[in-house]
Amino acid sequence: MAKKLFVGSLAWETTQEELQELFAQYGDVEEAIIISDKFSGRSKGFGFVTFTDDAAADEAIAQLNETEFKGRKIVVNEAKPPRQ
């Protein structure tokens, strides 16, 4: 089953391709997206990465949470469903 991760504190200039490359070291990435402002198009500084394998996602959390990427200490954890 796929597992979605939240990735926060991203540098503004981080691209979806860079995010995918960072996480692909730990397994097959189904999707990597960076959330952007719908009016300005500027990154909001966070995104989501979906792994096809739960174990790979757990390893990525363990290895990347609180590490530096592009000069920023990123936060990586399991994504929670949106509040209703």
- The SS3 assignment for 49 reads strand
pLDDT of residue 84: 74
pLDDT of residue 83: 84
**For residue range 11-58, what is the model confidence (pLDDT) as tens digits?**
999 999 999 999 999 999 999 999 999 999 999 999 999 999 999 999
Number of CB atoms found within 10 A of residue 74's CB: 22
- The SS3 assignment for 18 reads helix
CATH superfamily of 3-68: RRM (RNA recognition motif) domain (3.30.70.330)
Going by pLDDT thresholds of 50, 70 and 90, the confidence category of residue 1 is confident
pLDDT of 65 > 90? The answer is yes
Whole-angstrom distance, CA of residue 84 vs CA of residue 81: 9
The more confidently predicted of residues 29 and 81 is 29
